[in-house]
Structure 1
Amino acid sequence: MTNNYKFFKHKDCEYYPCHKVKNDEKFNCLFCYCPLYFLEQCGGNGKFVDGIKDCSACTIPHSENGYDYVVNKIKEVNQTKRK
């Protein structure tokens, strides 16, 4: 089984890459908008500016292992809410 569902690159996007990275060959566009944005403690290095979360310095969802990180974080949050 392949892991193709975990990685997507959209080089034709006018914003590609939307973050400064060392190697854009491993830049993952799957989570163009981070599903963890709603979490105050998402594990990334976002910051709050005038009450708005600024994730422009975070590349976790765009990293090679971003899919696994995001899915595991969602599972973690769901487990916490069930207790």
Structure 2
Amino acid sequence: MSENYKFFNHKDCEFFPCHKTNKPDEFNCLFCYCPLYALGENCGGNFKYTQNGIKDCSSCMLPHNKNNYDYIMSKFKDILEVSSKSGK
């Protein structure tokens, strides 16, 4: 079975690539807005917090690596938990 659904490259996007990369052909745009952002320190990516406490993911390539689809999908249980707590 093909796994084409795990990768999408949108070179026509005016923001492509949104992060510096030496491999634009392998840049995955599927998770353009990272679903792991809400996990804060538990996302597993390369981030830092600004002086104002804002999460800065500009150096993170985790959602854009073509091999990380399964990792991101494995974190959806955690995303649901965070969103259900904040909804109360």
For normalisation by structure 1, the TM-score amounts to: 0.86
Other-structure match for 2:73: 71
- Helix, strand or coil: the match of 1:5? helix
By percentage of residues, which structure has more helix?
2
Extract unaligned runs of 5+ from structure 1. Answer: none
Q: List structure 1 runs of 4+ shifted beyond 3 angstroms.
A: none
Other-structure match for 2:35: 35
- Alpha-carbon distance in structure 2 between the residues aligned to 1:66 and 1:24: 16
Q: CA deviation at 1:66?
A: 2.2
CA contact (8 A) 1:28 1:64 kept: yes
Within 5 Å, which residues of 2 pair with 1:3-18?
3-18=3-18
Q: CA deviation at 1:5?
A: 0.7
Q: Deviations over 1:7-41 (max 9, x none)?
A: 00111001101111121111000000000000121
RMSD: 1.6
Extract unaligned runs of 5+ from structure 2. Answer: 83-88
Match of 2:59 among 57, 72, 76: 57
Identity of aligned residues (%): 59
- Aligned pair count reads 79
- Helix, strand or coil: the match of 2:72? helix
For normalisation by structure 2, the TM-score amounts to: 0.81
